[in-house]
Structure 1
Amino acid sequence: MAQAKVAPIRSDLDIVIARTLARDTAKALGFGAIDQARIATAVSELARNIFLYAGTGTVTIREIERGGRKGIEIICEDQGPGIADIDLVMQDGYSTSRGMGMGLPGAKRLMDEFDIKSAEGQGTIIHCRKWRT
């Protein structure tokens, strides 16, 4: 398996870099154009959240394999303020930034697996995976 790729998130430009890295990795792993776009969009949204709410963090992209299936895993981590109410932020239409982003629920819909853990004052970590069909 290929080495994980880490994109530090510190600026708007880093969001674009993480998105491109995710799309390129998905393409190299044999994902079709539609799934490449889904993965890139989810990464863009998650990286944007890191920048907006935590200021800095990382997006790690790696190839995964489970039961003979190949896929991509995205790990988004920050040491920001954390999320007080995960159930609330996972509701469609909820926004703290009045942004036009699709938020965490949209990113979850674009991926096959999505897990979020957060602790107030300690940060947030999101693992999401997309499996090649």
Structure 2
Amino acid sequence: MGTQSCVPVKNEWDIVNARQLGRKMAKDLGFGSVDQARITTAISELARNIYLYADYGTICIETYEDYGKQGLKIIASDTGPGIKDLRKAMQDGYTTSGGLGAGLPGVKRLMDDFSIDTKVGEGTEITAIKWLR
């Protein structure tokens, strides 16, 4: 584990703060502008989900190394209602908020590694990693 920074997510400004932190950390690590945009878009989607569905959570971003590969790991965790139907939530175009529906499938496509741990009534933790090429 490298450097880690966390942003609490309670309002829309926190989404902006999480995006800015992610972009700065991605740039500092050496990601190009296209990957920086992918990372900030993923962070934006994850933070927005916390804001819309969980009332409170955190976005933690850390520089990460595994077997000599460097990357950026994003951990979005909340104590919200959890995801009742994970399979449905991972379908393209699925949305319960009336949003664009890029949501979780979009985050999975934008990042290299993606996992979800969710328990109904307890919360959700989503981990996504983008590797530096």
Residue matched to 1:92: 92
User: What per-residue deviation string (whole Å, max 9, x for no partner) do you get for residues 21-45 of structure 1?
Assistant: 0010000000010000000000000
1:67 maps to 2:67: yes
Q: Which runs of 5+ in 2 are unaligned?
A: none
- Aligned-residue RMSD, C-alpha: 0.9
Cα offset, 1:101, TM superposition: 4.5
Match of 2:83 in 1: 83
SS of the equivalent of 2:114 reads strand
TM-score relative to the length of structure 2: 0.97
**DSSP-derived class of the 1:94 partner:** coil
Partner residue, 2:104:
104
Unaligned runs of 5+ in 1: none
Q: Secondary structure at the match of 2:75?
A: strand
1:68, 1:99 → 2: CA distance?
A: 38
Superposed, 1:1-133 pairs within 5 Å as 2-133=2-133
Deviation, 1:102, is 1.1
Query: Shift in Å at residue 3 of structure 1?
Result: 2.6
How many angstroms apart in 2 are the aligned matches of 1:65 and 1:52? 32
What is the rounded CA distance, in whole Å, between the counterparts of 2:111 and 2:5 in structure 1?
19
Give the TM-score normalised by structure 1: 0.97
Amino acid at match of 1:131: W
Q: How many residues align?
A: 133
Deviations 1:47-88 (A, max 9, x none): 000000001100000001111110000000000000011111
Distance 1:31 1:3 in 2: 16
Q: % of aligned pairs identical?
A: 54
Distance in structure 2 (CA, Å) of the matches to 1:30 and 1:101: 30
| Alignment partners' CA distance in 2, 1:52 and 1:81 | 11
